[in-house]
Amino acid sequence: MPEPTLPSPAALDPADSTPLKASLAPERGLQTGEYLTSGQGVRLPDTDHSLKAGTRGPTLMEDFHLREKITHFDHERIPERVVHARGTGAYGVFTAYGNAASITRAGFLAEKNKQTEVFVRFSTVLGSRGSADTVRDTRGFATKFYTDEGNFDLVGNNMPVFFIQDGIKFPDLIHAAKWHPDREIPQAQTAHDTFWDFVSLHTEATHHVMWAMSDRAIPRSYRTMEGFGVHTFRLVNAAGETALVKFHWKPVAGVHSLAWEEAQIAAGVDPDFHRRDLTDSIDAGLFFEYELGVQVMPDTPDETFQGIDLLDPTKIVPEELAPVQPIGKLVLNRNTDNFHAETEQIAFHMGNLVPGIEVTNDPLLQARLFSYLDTQLSRLGGPNFNQLPINRPHAPVNDNLRDGMHQSVVHRGIAPYLPTSLGNGAAPEATPPDKGAYVHLPKPVKGEKIRENPASYADHYSQAALFYHSLSPVEQEHMVEAFTFELGKCYETPIRERMLTVLAKVDAGLTAKVAAGLGLPAPQDTTPAEVVPSPALAQVTDRVWPITGRIVGVIAGPGADLDGIDSLRTAMKAHGVVLRVIAPIGGILDGKEIVERTFQTARSVEFDAIVIAGGAGKLVDLQATVLLQEAFRHAKAIGAWGDGEQLLLTAGIDPAAPGILRSADAGKAYAEQLAAALGKHRAWERMPLLKPAAS
Ligand code: HDE
């Protein structure tokens, strides 16, 4: 059995770490021909007027251009994903540290410095394609690795557990969580009766519900979000030894979330908040980075680790028991050219495995193995979607799959079958041991046919309590507010009451606060579980994180210190931070073209910090006041130099409050103070001031 502790990752050789070139899609590119043509290549003289019998006459059927143009348009959409419909994606490069060779023979993980092109699609789960990005929801984090040995898909989420233990419940869960079928509302929300009805009755959902009510459900950016494979996978090394692992994506920028009010404002003022952040950042060269890590557990016959059932997807293995060991790095560095062709048509499937990676008997994972291909057959219109450029493997494909709708390959040869004596059409099998074939582990399978869970699956509360007790006080407070908000949106009192009885089994204090917020009595029969917290689960800690891609708004007006703005911009750029000047009127300020937002177009949610330039202290503007007050409420860093702090007073903000950075000028020392404040994500020390008066 391989060692659970991997060798430390050796430093990557920078010479070998240059980004891969785009290798996909021969069809990529502009239509560069000389003239407009029809789909048949016939040159067209006029695409503005249809062919009619006289200027006032009826349109003629004969107009092939009109018919083709309208017909194709009529069929431009494909069905949206039944879940995870709203998403965005980017290409990147994965580089292996090489230390995973002791646990897997998968080349893209085992070979040091090996680079593999990937495509990642991030998504929300519940909303339709056009819904807002910043809703409270689980996020999908799906990665396709185009490895030399075939495609491997890691189709994970940003939460490590799931609502159900058996895939057969998935349609029930989604029917309850999505909109009500009579009116198709609410959109992209769990704050409604059917969701809370289901999860209060189906209590194995409790652990995931805790995550969904935590700040993890409203990430600041896909850059600051963890990813989890959720299920336990089985890795196989070159010697045939196995280990059970859980996959983790750790964001280099740390885990950071929006404030709930910010998320709600952003959903209105910029529904594309996360999508824009990803694509703008890549355009600016401020790439998103994550480390891939594994928790390695011995492959014991009972498939448990320290009493935790590794086949139960409602359970985590705390990092304190099995550390997450980094095995490679992902850099997302290239935007798509065509959303439909790439992001919309990509098809992930956890059955896309490469030698060295196997699935386990987790009943949720097993059901997924069926569902993804099945749904893609109708979503992408037939069995040939693997030929779409975005889905095409980079490894050679010699399948004997033929014909079907949308076949785009002209297969040659007369013998697409095996065995054959004719050759010329079918490649031979990659017979083991040495041809790199995917050989399933010969694990014995036995058991009686039953519809039953293992006894260990009955514990629905201990890890929900573990999660709650591992959070920092400010995160716990946010969770109280989230439960109170969501349950407060339910119309049915019995549902709220039932959910309180579920929460009572998690934590009495949490239940009492939520009950008080709902104006309901807290259940008395509380039996919360005893737990040992896992500090690794808290996202608000003393750590300071890299600030690449963060955005600082600078309020300026006529007479503002433009040299100061320039030097702040230069200093922040060195940290990968973008500076945006906000002024009363757009365009040119005091002769310089530096204004990117006006008070009318700017909203606080798009900035991680707001600074008032010297010389702008006397501005009087209601929108600027709102901007500053929101930034204050959301515990963002706020700064002012020179007379800038006068504007704080105008906005009713105490310049001496925590997290307010004041300075005589915008020199280097000031920029470093601002960078340090951003690295803490928020001015957490201001939080006590922000509580509602009643609490
Ligand atoms: Fe999915 N899920 N899922 N899911 N899922 C889909 O596949 C399904 C589950 C996840 O960006 C669908 O191609 C079942 C867990 C992501 O294209 C569908 C069950 C996790 C994405 C489907 C689950 C996920 C999907 C819809 C219970 C985290 C978006 C479109 C057995 C580990 C992938 C599609 C993308 C998409 C079914 C549970 C993650 C219907 C039946 C657990 C990230 O096949």
Distance, CA of 346 to CA of 327 (rounded, Å): 26
Q: How confident is the model at residue 3 (pLDDT cuts 50, 70, 90)?
A: low
pLDDT computed for residue 476 by the predictor: 97
User: Is any atom of ligand 1 closer than 6 Å to the C-beta of 84?
Assistant: yes
**Closest ligand 1 atom to Cα of 229:** 32
Q: Which of 398, 213, 290, 656 is nearest to 648 (CA)?
A: 656
Q: Is 157 known to be catalytic?
A: yes
**Closest ligand 1 atom to Cα of 141:** 43
Please choose from 78, 80, 84, 122 the residue to mutate so as to test ligand 1's pocket, defined by most ligand atoms within 8 A of CB. 84
> What mean pLDDT is predicted for residues 191-219?
98
pLDDT, mean over the chain: 94
Q: How many angstroms separate the first and last alpha carbons of the chain?
A: 54
User: Is any atom of ligand 1 closer than 6 Å to the C-beta of 366?
Assistant: no
**Closest ligand 1 atom to Cα of 368:** 31
81 is in an annotated binding site: yes
Query: Which CATH number is correct for 87-387, 2.40.180.10, 2.40.50.140, 2.60.110.10, 2.60.40.420?
Result: 2.40.180.10
pLDDT computed for residue 524 by the predictor: 85
> What mean pLDDT is predicted for residues 332-348?
97
pLDDT computed for residue 473 by the predictor: 95
The answer on pLDDT for 22 being more than 70 is no
468 is in an annotated binding site: no
User: Is any atom of ligand 1 closer than 6 Å to the C-beta of 547?
Assistant: no
Distance, CA of 159 to CA of 167 (rounded, Å): 17
Distance between Cα 173 and ligand 1 center (Å):
13
User: Is any atom of ligand 1 closer than 6 Å to the C-beta of 156?
Assistant: yes
| Residue tagged active-site, from 65, 99, 151, 157 | 157
pLDDT computed for residue 10 by the predictor: 66
The answer on pLDDT for 541 being more than 90 is yes
Distance between Cα 155 and ligand 1 center (Å):
7
The answer on pLDDT for 372 being more than 70 is yes
How distant, in Å, are the alpha carbons of 220, 227, 236, 536 from that of 260? 10, 21, 43, 22
Distance between Cα 238 and ligand 1 center (Å):
31
Q: How confident is the model at residue 691 (pLDDT cuts 50, 70, 90)?
A: low
User: Is any atom of ligand 1 closer than 6 Å to the C-beta of 256?
Assistant: no
**Closest ligand 1 atom to Cα of 346:** 17
368 is in an annotated binding site: yes
Please choose from 172, 348, 380 the residue to mutate so as to test ligand 1's pocket, defined by most ligand atoms within 8 A of CB. 348
Distance, CA of 275 to CA of 272 (rounded, Å): 5
User: Is any atom of ligand 1 closer than 6 Å to the C-beta of 308?
Assistant: no
> What mean pLDDT is predicted for residues 667-679?
97
Distance, CA of 505 to CA of 508 (rounded, Å): 7
User: Is any atom of ligand 1 closer than 6 Å to the C-beta of 66?
Assistant: no
Please report, for the chain, the start and end positions of each structural domain, with discontinuous segments joined by +. Answer: 87-387, 461-537, 551-683
User: Is any atom of ligand 1 closer than 6 Å to the C-beta of 249?
Assistant: no
Q: How confident is the model at residue 188 (pLDDT cuts 50, 70, 90)?
A: very high
Distance between Cα 521 and ligand 1 center (Å):
38
Give, using CA atoms, the residue closest to atom 24 of ligand 1.
156
Percentage of the chain beyond pLDDT 90 is 91
pLDDT tens digits for range 563-606: 999 999 999 999 999 999 999 999 999 999 999 999 999 999 99
> What mean pLDDT is predicted for residues 627-633?
96
Q: Is 394 known to be catalytic?
A: no
> Whats the size of the chain, residue-wise?
695
Give, using CA atoms, the residue closest to atom 28 of ligand 1.
156
Q: Does domain 461-537 correspond to CATH entry 1.20.1370.20?
A: yes
The answer on pLDDT for 693 being more than 80 is no
What's the CATH class of domain 551-683? alpha beta
| Residue tagged active-site, from 65, 84, 478, 634 | 84
> What mean pLDDT is predicted for residues 77-97?
98
pLDDT tens digits for range 219-270: 999 999 999 999 999 999 999 999 999 999 999 999 999 999 999 999 999 9
pLDDT computed for residue 1 by the predictor: 65
569 is in an annotated binding site: no
Distance, CA of 267 to CA of 191 (rounded, Å): 15
pLDDT computed for residue 692 by the predictor: 55
> Between 506 and 14, where is the model more confident?
506
User: Is any atom of ligand 1 closer than 6 Å to the C-beta of 89?
Assistant: no
pLDDT computed for residue 16 by the predictor: 47
Tokens (6 digits) for 105: 């023979």
Contact 465, 531 (CB under 8 A): yes
DSSP helix/strand/coil, 128 = coil
372 is in an annotated binding site: yes
Give, using CA atoms, the residue closest to atom 43 of ligand 1.
140
Distance between Cα 357 and ligand 1 center (Å):
19
pLDDT computed for residue 202 by the predictor: 98
pLDDT tens digits for range 23-38: 444 456 678 889 999 9
Percentage of the chain beyond pLDDT 70 is 96
How distant, in Å, are the alpha carbons of 39, 212, 399, 629 from that of 50? 17, 53, 46, 56
Give, using CA atoms, the residue closest to atom 18 of ligand 1.
372
How distant, in Å, are the alpha carbons of 424, 431, 570 from that of 616? 77, 75, 20
pLDDT computed for residue 27 by the predictor: 54
pLDDT computed for residue 30 by the predictor: 75
624's enclosing H/E stretch is helix 622-633
pLDDT computed for residue 11 by the predictor: 64
Say which residues have a Cβ less than 8 Å from residue 345's Cβ, sequence separation at least 6: 78, 380, 385, 388, 390, 391
Q: How confident is the model at residue 18 (pLDDT cuts 50, 70, 90)?
A: very low
pLDDT computed for residue 13 by the predictor: 58
Contact 162, 364 (CB under 8 A): yes
pLDDT computed for residue 528 by the predictor: 74
pLDDT tens digits for range 646-660: 999 999 999 999 999
Say which residues have a Cβ less than 8 Å from residue 328's Cβ, sequence separation at least 6: 94, 95, 96, 97, 100, 109, 291, 292
